[in-house]
Amino acid sequence: MADILGPMTGAGRYAPSPSGDLHFGNLRTAVIAWLFARHSGRDFLLRVEDIDVGRSSPESAQRQIDDLLTLGLTFDGEIVYQSARFDSYAAALNRLPVYECYCSRKDIQEASRAPHAIPGSYPGTCRSLDDAARTRRRADLAAQGRVPALRLRAETDSFTIHDYYRGAYTGEVDDFVLRRGGQEPGWAYNLAVVVDDGFQCVDQVVRGDDLLSSAPRQAYLASLLGLPVPEYAHVPLVLGSTGKRLAKRDGAVTLREMLVDHSVPEVVGRLAATLGYAGVDKLSQLLEVFDPEELSRDEVVWESI
């Protein structure tokens, strides 16, 4: 266990993917995660989720870190970079029941349209292939310069987590990918996040609502690895004017863009207002008044500041 489980202290974390500058929605989630951790006396850790080396860059990671510090967030311990943790993912994978999957995205889409299939979930096409079929399919892929993905052989089809705001939440668990295949194989987010939360002793995961449906898969994986399952709090994402999640198309949404015409206290003031604490413009002050029970759960729509 020593390879994946670090020293035992409770912690919260913020885990951005460094593929662009942090925007108002990212900052809001980071601030809420920080408030939850500090309010409950936990450490607060930063993890750079640069698992996808093609889409991440060290420059982007550094800009994100600088932005979080500019805003006034404080972190404990060393920053963990997923790109430096591939050996730990391999060690964890070795302890899990897995099978090779040769399906293309199109194969999966077609199979999941079959009657009784659960939309979006892997229908188990490659789960029970015999050795001869596996040898053939592996060779077919190799001829195209591709390698198979590795999927978890899940022994359940659902798992229940506890979410601070929703209570018990039961979600689907399928044979999800642990190692991506194709021409550029790589570690899957669901494996990395679980191994890293275990390694960093994270017992409180506060993040955007878009990841709620992944939490049961991740919690199930943690239980298979003998890691404690964290307490979750999923919070609403900030939406742009079109009703979709906030993005570049919505204007000057990044911290750097906002700071062209506004001060840090003005940005913090706007963040605090969306949490239900209008009039507060410092993070230290926000922490004094913060009560997770009172946090506004309303949908937040971006308005330029």
Provide, rounded to whole angstroms, the least separation between the CB of residue 16 and ligand GLU. Answer: 5
Give 214 or 285: the residue with its C-beta nearer to ligand GLU. 214
Give 15 or 201: the residue with its C-beta nearer to ligand GLU. 15
Give 49 or 174: the residue with its C-beta nearer to ligand GLU. 49
Half-sphere exposure of 156 (CA within 13 A, CB side): 15
Contact call for residues 238 and 301 (beta carbons, < 8 A): yes
Provide, rounded to whole angstroms, the least separation between the CB of residue 67 and ligand GLU. Answer: 14
Give 179 or 207: the residue with its C-beta nearer to ligand GLU. 207
| Direct distance between the N- and C-terminal alpha carbons of the chain, in angstroms, rounded to an integer | 48
Provide, rounded to whole angstroms, the least separation between the CB of residue 298 and ligand GLU. Answer: 21
* Closest to 204 measured CA to CA, from 234, 226, 179: 234
Provide, rounded to whole angstroms, the least separation between the CB of residue 192 and ligand GLU. Answer: 9
Provide, rounded to whole angstroms, the least separation between the CB of residue 51 and ligand GLU. Answer: 8
Residue with tokens 């009703």, as numbered in its chain: 243
Provide, rounded to whole angstroms, the least separation between the CB of residue 288 and ligand GLU. Answer: 26
Give 126 or 192: the residue with its C-beta nearer to ligand GLU. 192
Instruction: Write down how long the chain is.
Output: 305
Provide, rounded to whole angstroms, the least separation between the CB of residue 280 and ligand GLU. Answer: 25
Binding site for ligand GLU (CB under 6 A): 15-17, 49, 193, 207, 211
Angle formed by the axes of helices 58-71 and 264-274, to 10°? 80
Give 101 or 212: the residue with its C-beta nearer to ligand GLU. 212
Give 211 or 301: the residue with its C-beta nearer to ligand GLU. 211
Provide, rounded to whole angstroms, the least separation between the CB of residue 60 and ligand GLU. Answer: 12
